Structure 1
Amino acid sequence: MTSEWLRNIQNAKITVLIEDGKRKVHFLLENGTEMVEEYNIDTNVVMRRIWKKKNSFGTDIGWTVEIGDPEPTENNIEIDGIQESSNTPIVTQRITKTSLEWRIRNLPYPNNVYAVTAEQDNTITIRTSNKKYFKKLRVLDLERIGLKPEQERISFKHQYNTLIITYKKPSELLDVEKKVLSKILQLENTESTKECPVS
């Protein structure tokens, strides 16, 4: 059965650009939403995923980062928010071939104080026994295909003041990723690439 998310991607207007050793893919979904993904050319893994944001009046207000580092880049991608303390915990998400990964920087507490759990509200929740940190993480890659996080797929470790949470991808997600990549590679091989809106 094809998920609604996969149908949206397959029906999107897709533009592919190879630049700086990356495959940059712009998706214009049928509902007008825009997404850009950057793939590692060698591994075909998503390194960055950003979404164009609009305000309640439909005016473009820049891009928001879902996958990859949130710092502003030379691409003029705007990041919402205010200046935070350099000691504030910062969450970034990454993707590997087999896992979803979150890194929470600026967490100085030892490994044994953390509990990382799959919750009924479909989040992965981080708690510390010293009550110093609490965070709920939405797992958007699972939400989009109608899956909930499973406890047995979660592992974590703490090193260099960073909590690294790893979620092993289920077969359903691997299958969707494979089909999306196949669509992108098909377009790349059959169409002349155009200028990507975010380069």
Structure 2
Amino acid sequence: MASQNWIDILESAKKTALIHDGKRKIHYLFTDGKEMAEEYDLRTDELIVRKWRHKSTLGAHGQWQQEVGETLVSPVTSLDADLIKENCSNPVLVRKDTKTSFQWRIRNLPYPKEVFHVSVQPSERCIVIKTSNKKYYKKFNIPDLDRSQLPLDSSALSFTHANNTLIYKKSNEILTLEQNLMKELKKLKGSSEENVDCKTQ
């Protein structure tokens, strides 16, 4: 997808909208068969969820991969108490954006701020979080910057100890892209909450 302008790819995708449960839900079907699903808060227009699904080489639908928001534990997994216990104690990096920044929270990592070292590696287009006690190491990219082919800027990165939150301030290019996209999404004629409720009653 990188060779073509990301905004053009978004515009050419087939989009379906649904207003439900205080959220604007958008489904994108791209020309290459990939799918993206997003959920926005209706009041604030903040992105709550973004996930992707790719087709396999045989054309079957793959599993949804979470990019923004928390992955919900499936009911099947919840039957296995041991598996849940193990998952609950492991550190988890969850992305939860705001209107002005990309944000990640690290759950289950109860160490003081001075233990954490956060850095940007522009050559590898990634952010690295590690702890001096060698209990945690995570290397990840920001897909939004990759898709728009924008550089990583270390001055945009900050780390707060409240909720172990890593904050990357959005550039003007990203803010403009998101504002323009939201204008387009609001024009989509989608089913409303009332229609959905009628079907479920």
TM-score bucket of the superposed structures, by smaller chain: 0.7 to 0.9
Q: Which residue of 1 aligns with 2:102?
A: 100
Cα distance, 1:73–1:123 mapped onto 2, change above 3 Å: same
Q: Which residue of 2 aligns with 1:169?
A: 170
Instruction: Work out the CA distance in 1 between the residues paired with 2:190 and 2:143.
Output: 31
Q: How many residues align?
A: 182
1:28-107 pair list within 5 angstroms: 28-72=29-73, 84-107=86-109
Residue 73 of structure 1 deviates from its aligned partner by 6.4
Q: Which residue of 2 aligns with 1:122?
A: 125
Instruction: Work out the CA distance in 1 between the residues paired with 2:161 and 2:54.
Output: 33
Question: Structure 1 or 2: larger strand share?
Answer: 1
Contact 2:159 2:166 in 1 (8 A): yes
Residue 7 of structure 1 deviates from its aligned partner by 0.5
Instruction: Work out the CA distance in 2 between the residues paired with 1:192 and 1:109.
Output: 46
Instruction: Work out the CA distance in 2 between the residues paired with 1:179 and 1:131.
Output: 42
Opposite residue 58 of structure 1, the aligned amino acid is G
Residue 13 of structure 1 deviates from its aligned partner by 0.9
Larger mean Cα displacement after TM superposition, 57-66 or 113-122 = 57-66
Opposite residue 44 of structure 1, the aligned amino acid is D
Residue 17 of structure 1 deviates from its aligned partner by 0.7
SS at match of 2:54: strand
Residue 177 of structure 1 deviates from its aligned partner by 0.6
Bigger relative CO (Cα 8 Å, ≥ 6 apart) = 1
Residue 56 of structure 1 deviates from its aligned partner by 3.7
TM-score (norm 2): 0.83
**1:36-81 CA deviation, whole Å, 9 max, x = no partner?**
100100111111011123334331133121110112368xxxxxxx
Instruction: Work out the CA distance in 2 between the residues paired with 1:47 and 1:101.
Output: 12
Question: Structure 1 or 2: larger helix share?
Answer: 2
Residue of 144, 147, 150 corresponding to 2:153: 150
SS at match of 1:72: coil
TM-score (norm 1): 0.84
Residue 11 of structure 1 deviates from its aligned partner by 0.8
SS at match of 1:175: helix
Instruction: Work out the CA distance in 2 between the residues paired with 1:11 and 1:61.
Output: 22
Instruction: Work out the CA distance in 2 between the residues paired with 1:17 and 1:186.
Output: 12
Where does structure 1 lack aligned partners over 5 or more consecutive residues? 75-81
Tell me the percent identity: 37
Residue 124 of structure 1 deviates from its aligned partner by 0.8
Larger radius of gyration: 2
Residue 141 of structure 1 deviates from its aligned partner by 1.0
RMSD: 2.1
Instruction: Work out the CA distance in 2 between the residues paired with 1:14 and 1:108.
Output: 41
Opposite residue 11 of structure 2, the aligned amino acid is Q
